[in-house]
Amino acid sequence: MNTLFRKIVCAAIIAIITILFGCEKKATPQPSPSPSSPSGNSDSYSSMADFFAKNGVAMQSYTINAGTGGSFTTPQGTVVTIPANAFMNGSYHLITGNVTINFKDIYKKSDMLLSNMPTNMVNGAPLKSAGEFFIKAVHGNDTVQLTQKITIKQPFNSLPADTMMKPFVQNNGVFIAGQGWVPADTLATVSRDLSLSDYVFSLYSLQSPVDSGTWCNSDNSYFFSAFPQTSLTLQETDSVSKYNTYVFLVFKGLNSMVHVYNGSGNTFPYAYAPQGLDCTVVAVGVKGGTVYSSFTPITIGSNQTVNFSMSATTTADFEAALAALN
């Protein structure tokens, strides 16, 4: 009788355990596979704006006590130092408590392209960059302004120091198609000390409107003056509107890449091409959710015309080909 009772009890326990494990398994659903685009890619985009938003450098957020100040170092090696009592609100009162610093730094040409942050001057001429960064300070629901300078140290990234680097900023703190970088004469200064391993960017004020944030860039605007300027015409053999094509020149051996804007029809004219330099014409677009691209290496010649055609790709393959140009 006891043996029979023990068998019944064991069977009941096994049944209960089976039920519990079955419930636990159902409570942890497995991720479903991502929907594929028409070409079989695992990624899909509604537009080029969507492409840049999903693949550009991600924003980082840091918390600083406004009363005591502080510093942080980004994964890219940028060091931001904020002194005590460096922030004020719209009524010009000092801010106490925590301030959130939204920050983004970009050093590689591939990241510049994927973030749609090329190194064009406002007139379209190319710049040689030592790195870009975005900064925005927020206290509660309000963006804030500076009362004194903050310091941003940009690493050399194993490159030789360039004493011709100067500070540049974006108009209105936002990169708008057709606009570019302008000298930051009244906004910020850059000091150089070749005994250090950084470019020191002293930022005295945030760009208006402050709720848009501030984009800054260390650039050499003199490098390209050593090369004759020529006209370069990039001709898409497909329809530009078919892919909403974006075209860039990614220079070889230089931390520089420029956006070449669509002119008329399927042409992309560029009047500031440095003759004799090697670069790659990189075109990228989106059609039906799928990425299309083209990579065309060239040496810039006098009044040159270059044809290119788009073909379907994946984001991973596009990024790998782009990273090879860094």
pTM as predicted: 0.82
Domain end point (choices 195, 223, 251): 223
Range of the domain at 68: 56-223
* Of residues 134, 149, 145, 133, the one with CA closest to residue 189: 149
- Which CATH number does the domain housing residue 275 bear? 2.60.40.1120
Q: Does 267 lie in the same domain as 209? A: no
Q: Give the tens place of pLDDT for each residue, 9-37.
A: 334 333 333 332 233 332 223 333 333 33
In a domain, 32, yes or no: no
3-state helix, strand, coil in the chain (%, to 5): 20, 40, 40
Query: What was the pLDDT predicted at 64?
Result: 95
Q: Give the tens place of pLDDT for each residue, 33-58.
A: 333 333 444 588 999 999 999 999 99
Q: Give the tens place of pLDDT for each residue, 131-178.
A: 999 999 999 888 899 999 999 999 988 888 888 888 888 865 455 544
**Alpha-carbon separation of residue 45 from 42, 241, 315 (angstroms):** 11, 16, 10
Q: Of 121-130, 137-146, 173-182, 221-230, where does mean pLDDT reach its minimum?
A: 173-182
Q: Does 272 lie in the same domain as 138? A: no
Q: Does 217 lie in the same domain as 116? A: yes
Domain end point (choices 208, 223, 238): 223
Q: Does 269 lie in the same domain as 175? A: no
Q: Does 82 lie in the same domain as 126? A: yes
Q: Does 274 lie in the same domain as 243? A: yes
In a domain, 74, yes or no: yes
Contact 286, 243 (CB under 8 A): yes
Contact 250, 323 (CB under 8 A): no
User: How many structural domains comprise the chain?
Assistant: 2
Listed in sequence order, the residues at least 6 apart from 132 whose beta carbon sits closer than 8 Å to its beta carbon are 105, 106, 107, 112, 117, 119, 215, 216, 217
- Which CATH number does the domain housing residue 139 bear? 2.60.220
Contact 322, 110 (CB under 8 A): yes
Q: Does 73 lie in the same domain as 118? A: yes
186 Ramachandran zone, left/alpha/beta (phi>0; psi -120 to 50): alpha
Q: Does 291 lie in the same domain as 198? A: no
